[in-house]
Structure 1
Amino acid sequence: MTTAPVRIALADDQGIVRAGLRALLERHGIEVVFEAEDGAQLLDRLAATPVDVVLSDIRMAGVDGIEALRRMRERGDTTPVLLLTTFDESELLLRATAAGAQGFMLKDAAPEDLRDAIARVAAGETLLQPVSTDPVRARYQYHASEAPRENFTDREVAILRLLAGGYSNKEIARAMFLAEGTVKNYVSVILDKLDTRDRTRAVLKAITLRVI
């Protein structure tokens, strides 16, 4: 029995980059359902043509990758988004994580790594650290006194990873086969352990402290 290829949407404002990525991905068994030259076109096409994963450049003229991602989540589109990035975009990575990105890939990543990342994101994984997180850690320093009050359970770490992917309590409950109220309780415990008041700060602090 053959496995159906992962179906993706490819967004980049440079035609030659899109052509190169399409050729590379199709050689590795990934189906590029459609291309978009900016975030606005991506949103229009997604509304009519669902895909398994969106592969998008962060920096695009007009509606960029992060803004497109934000609008997707606002309209209830939970399609996993894998963003193409470079090492010098740590600030953008923080914004993208808060907006609901499932992961990041370097533009010069090996073809096999890109293929595997797309497959993992399509399967529901969150790739939080495919690029250097040192700039993030340097910007958000925490002292030993600010370490988590208690150790995290495996389930709490799993929920933190889903929070980093922008999932709502309802979506986390569905993914982990838990009641929504149970997830809400877990999130409260996580925020308390990290001594933070909101989910975004909790994710940033968890990354910095190497909890996730």
Structure 2
Amino acid sequence: MTDAPNTTAPITIALADDQALVRAGLRALLERQGIVIAFEADHGQALLDGLAAHAVDVVLSDIRMPGMDGIEALQRLRDAGHTTPVLLLTTFDDSELLLRATQAGAQGFLLKDAAPDDLRDAITRVARGETLLQPVSTDAVRARYQYHAQEAPKERFSEREVAILRLLAGGYSNKEIARSLFLAEGTVKNYVSVILEKLDTRDRTRAVLKAITLRVI
């Protein structure tokens, strides 16, 4: 697991997008916000080559690129044991892409029309080790993942647990959930553990996917 970036040092990222004007715009925007661009890439293989030579805190990559796209590059990184957080950008609010990105090991998924402050916040949160997955239509999730009756939750969920699941689906951290629901952070951690146990899943992302499929949320 990669070390968390020094909070006093600027966040360093790799920037991948096949459109030079988009890269230039993102570079100008992010550098004004104090983020350092270690290198740019215009396709997935160039991204992999750059990461072999540069250590970064976060990879910011377009999903749709010619040749090797952002998700395939991510899959190759994870297959090679590379754990640097990856934030994927897309112009499409496409649930199928969210599923592919999540399965490949992405920490974040953000639409390109996000506000500048939201983009910087997403990079900062992903660099801290958080997951940021914007809520999308759940229909594709249910169509893709079918669970049998024996895989249903072991117990019914309380209203508070459902509320926490919905916040997990929005990519909120335990601290943010605690602040939102006026709970102690330790209490939220206990709720999350109970939710994972009820859904028989080992991580938050799988719990959210299964909860959507089973119409818990």
**TM-score past 0.5 threshold:** yes
Closer, same or farther in 2 for the Cα pair 1:140/1:51, shift >3 Å? same
Mapped partners of 1:138, 1:18: distance in 2 = 35
The match for 1:28 among 27, 33, 42 is 33
Partner of 1:134: 138
Mapped partners of 1:15, 1:75: distance in 2 = 28
Partner of 1:93: 98
Partner of 2:3: none
Quote the offset at 1:131 in angstroms: 4.2
Mapped partners of 1:132, 1:42: distance in 2 = 27
TM-score (ref. length: structure 2): 0.69
Q: Does the CA contact (< 8 Å) of 2:101 and 2:109 recur in 1? A: no
Q: Does the CA contact (< 8 Å) of 2:15 and 2:37 recur in 1? A: yes
AA at the equivalent of 2:41: A
AA at the equivalent of 1:94: L
The match for 1:64 among 69, 83, 97 is 69
Mapped partners of 2:214, 2:31: distance in 1 = 38
Instruction: Give the superposed CA RMSD.
Output: 3.6
- The alignment covers a number of residue pairs equal to 180
Q: Give structure 2 stretches of 5+ with no counterpart.
A: 1-6, 172-192
Q: Does the CA contact (< 8 Å) of 1:11 and 1:18 recur in 2? A: yes
Closer, same or farther in 2 for the Cα pair 1:18/1:131, shift >3 Å? farther
Q: Does the CA contact (< 8 Å) of 1:84 and 1:104 recur in 2? A: yes
Closer, same or farther in 2 for the Cα pair 1:207/1:10, shift >3 Å? farther
Q: Does the CA contact (< 8 Å) of 1:6 and 1:52 recur in 2? A: yes
Describe the superposition over 1:20-66 as per-residue Cα deviations: whole angstroms up to 9, x where unpaired. 00001111111111000001000011011010000000000000000
Query: Which aligned pairs between 1:1-212 and structure 2 lie closer than 5 A?
Result: 3-128=8-133, 130-137=134-141, 139=143, 148-150=153-155, 151=157, 190=196, 193-194=198-199, 204-208=209-213
**What percentage of residue pairs aligned between the two structures are identical?**
69
